[in-house]
Structure 1
Amino acid sequence: MTISCQRHLFDIPSDICYLNASYMTPLTLKQAEVGEAALKRCMQPWTVSPQDFFDTVQPVKDLSARMFGVNPEDMAVIPSVSYGIASAAKNIKLEAGQKIILLEHQFPSNVYEWRDLAEAQEASIITVPTPENHDWTSAILEVLAEEGEAAGLLALANVHWSSGALFDLKAISVECRKNGVSLVLDLTQSAGAVPINLSEIDPDFAVIGSYKWMMGPYSMGVMYVPPRNQQGRPLEQNWIARKDSENFSQLVDYKDGYQPGATRFDMGEKSNFILSPVYAEGIRQLLEWGVENIATSIDALNMKLAAICVAAGFEPIETAYRSPNILGVHVGKRADEVLGKLKENNISAGIRGDMLRLAPHLWVNENDLDRFESVFKSLK
């Protein structure tokens, strides 16, 4: 189902055309109200009970688990993608000489940690080059087949952050399991805008930053940890993850055991009395719209944007290989010119490499499309 324009739920001025959800999504008016109430509550800390340290953040786990088809016990709360990737790396064991597979131009938070791991565990890194037609799935499967058991880890996204190319994670996961390859995912550029069932994909770890398509605040996110990895080692040792931490009067009765499920991977101060309610409200809104409906609606917008770009002589990546939420358009040496023209007309988009990255959402209306078309006609 295609969702009608939802601009009324946001504070976006009429003269702003925001095609940059892959950079950051605006919070809704409702989230601003929730955030204001949370701030006011923190002015009166005597109203915050010990149980609130647990209950405030639980909706984030419950709602995100519902979105991804897993159990709330499998979700951990994290402050950033890099935190989640570091947590995953702490629990990945490679044999000397095994290979870590990364993608060319992969987002750095899902690269630097693996460089360190390769050095620490005497592994090596293979970088899959960008396919000419952006058929990343075929390229990744080919490398996995070639490397076989020599491959120890594959770290990638669901959608390439610069081009919008989509990866078939189900097919890739099957190949990984066949050869015992650990699969670690950064789903930040797809979660909330592309349907994802983590039970079916079955990664070893999946990390999701909140401030893009999950419509959450900066400095929060979630990590999926399947039951088979829930006895692993957390990145930090915080009090609230330990067994019986609800009993504040006995916190110095130190416990070796942890809270059940993926809780041991939660960040310290996970309760975050201000950001947690704002984040939960964003996920509620996404679930109300329905992620499949969001994907259908954004894809329709991107089809219109793609047609405008083609008419002006620019080439988007092939429809067969792109995600519904991000449209990568080859602009080559004209990148600065294109971005400059867009900025002059209050159109927000991104340039990544030699590609224009367009990422509309449900706030985009016909006036936005008309403004975009006018700019691109001037670029012909």
Structure 2
Amino acid sequence: MTDNTLERCCYYWNNAGQARLSAATQLAGIRSITTTEPSVTDTTRIRTLFAQLVDAAPSEIAIVPSTAFAMTLAAKNIERLYPDGGKILILEDQFPSAVYPWQALCHNHSINSKWSLEIVRYPEAYKRQQSDYVHVHSLSSPRNWTEAILAHLPPQSTIKSSTDFIRVVCIPPLHWSGIGGSWIDSPKISQVCQRYNILLLVDATQAIGVTPFSIQQLLPALAMVTCSTHKWLRGPPGTCLVYIHSKWHDTWEPLDQHHRSRVRPADFLPSSDSRHGMNIPEGYSTTFVKNARKFDAGGIPNPILLPMVKTALEEVTQLSLTKVQTQLKDLLQPFLVWAREHGIALSTDSSDDEVDDQRFYHILYLSFDDDKTLEEIQQLEQNLRTQFNRMYNS
């Protein structure tokens, strides 16, 4: 993708918008068409595998259709948790699924302005327009996303109005587009969130399955982690796996109401009062199960998608994720060396080895020198594509 409206011309190749399904995952979907709905064993296995991947307990994993669904669930409950309102901190150009639910929360209270967004601008924006940002005086020029985020988290004791409190920090482990691949120090941000009683929510769709990820490093401030299955879990679209901290299982309400989230007579066996276990006149059981299954989406578990998700997870959990980024870095080095020699650079290019280590290599952001003419940029674009294809498609 080329963005000619920017001062710097950049390229973002979204080849991982939908991960390629392995032969085994495709076969699981084909087989499921001729079978019945997934069994309880299928969903239990999915929770177990994902919990293994993120260093959590299977009882803390919910299965929903999308990251947007999960974030809407969180937004509804946080609205209940903080009736006086506050601010939601997000990143500029963050993926929309982790933004729209918070926008909706703010718009619901647009009349009395109880809720508002606190948007962290790109670190470059801080450097160019430093005087425009209130908290930036503590860091003369934030070098990366982590520093930019921390500059927005002052001690809550300095804030006079409840609507100015930052209640939630909702971030990814890395940004998906601008300055693509730049690492965000989520554990460090979690520590600050804990100090100021701020809830941390993480959309880890761009990270889980391609780099090690541990829930334990983000506790106790962490409330939720979402991961749609169609990215680096190499599964089908239409499913999202969600970690929800156990301390919220009793107080949060599910987004939709259905029988699978309830404690009920076994499979609605007939009782003395009703053929289907309904109490008269109260109705069905209102007691929720005591784990994250309470937050599963309603409807019958998808008989095609879930067997595919299970198969994909079984493959991903066999990978050595600690080696993936190193392998990607080594694989891309010849191309990146060529790019630098021709005036094309990574956003985090630096002689500082520490800075070079603070990025991921499954998402690349390439930019041209400012002094290039349009003709030179067009020629570089052609050379870039030709060289990449020569190196990796031959």
Unaligned runs of 5+ in 1: 1-18, 348-367, 375-380
Partners of 2:68 and 2:330 lie apart in 1 by 32
C-alpha deviation, 1:327, in angstroms: 1.6
Question: Which one of 276, 282, 295 corresponds to residue 306 of structure 2?
Answer: 276
Question: Which one of 75, 81, 86 corresponds to residue 89 of structure 1?
Answer: 75
C-alpha deviation, 1:245, in angstroms: 6.7
Unaligned runs of 5+ in 2: 1-12, 125-141, 160-164, 271-275, 279-283, 349-355
Match of 2:249 in 1: 230
Q: 1:1-380 to 2 correspondence within 5 Å?
A: 20-41=14-35, 45=36, 52-92=38-78, 93-94=81-82, 96=84, 98-120=86-108, 122-132=114-124, 135-145=144-154, 150-162=165-177, 163-202=180-219, 203-231=222-250, 232-244=252-264, 246-249=266-269, 251-253=276-278, 254-269=284-299, 271-318=301-348, 319-331=356-368, 337=378, 341=382, 370-371=391-392
Q: Cα–Cα, structure 1 residues 345 and 313, in superposed 2: closer, same or farther, change >3 Å?
A: closer
Q: Cα–Cα, structure 1 residues 216 and 342, in superposed 2: closer, same or farther, change >3 Å?
A: farther
Deviations 1:212-266 (A, max 9, x none): 1111100011010011111210100122111137514355531111222101110
Q: Cα–Cα, structure 1 residues 249 and 95, in superposed 2: closer, same or farther, change >3 Å?
A: closer
Partners of 2:27 and 2:380 lie apart in 1 by 34
Partners of 2:210 and 2:326 lie apart in 1 by 9
Q: Cα–Cα, structure 1 residues 39 and 265, in superposed 2: closer, same or farther, change >3 Å?
A: same
Q: TM-score, normalising length from structure 2?
A: 0.75
**Equivalent pair of 2:265/2:277 in contact (CA under 8 Å):** no
Partners of 1:56 and 1:107 lie apart in 2 by 30
Partners of 1:242 and 1:30 lie apart in 2 by 34
Which is greater in Rg?
2
Q: Cα–Cα, structure 1 residues 142 and 249, in superposed 2: closer, same or farther, change >3 Å?
A: same
Q: Cα–Cα, structure 1 residues 301 and 245, in superposed 2: closer, same or farther, change >3 Å?
A: farther
Between 1 and 2, higher relative CO (CA 8 Å, sep ≥ 6) is seen in: 1
C-alpha deviation, 1:120, in angstroms: 3.8
C-alpha deviation, 1:152, in angstroms: 1.1
Partners of 2:117 and 2:380 lie apart in 1 by 34
Deviations 1:42-100 (A, max 9, x none): xxx4xx6xxx5422222111100000000000000011110010011122133536222
Q: C-alpha root-mean-square deviation of aligned residues, in Å?
A: 2.9
Q: TM-score, normalising length from structure 1?
A: 0.78
Partners of 1:338 and 1:60 lie apart in 2 by 48
**Equivalent pair of 1:165/1:322 in contact (CA under 8 Å):** yes
How many pairs does the alignment contain?
327
Classify the secondary structure of the residue corresponding to 1:277: helix
C-alpha deviation, 1:311, in angstroms: 2.3
Q: For residue 159 of structure 1, what is the amino acid of its counterpart?
A: L
Deviates more, 1:52-61 or 1:245-254: 245-254
Classify the secondary structure of the residue corresponding to 2:167: strand
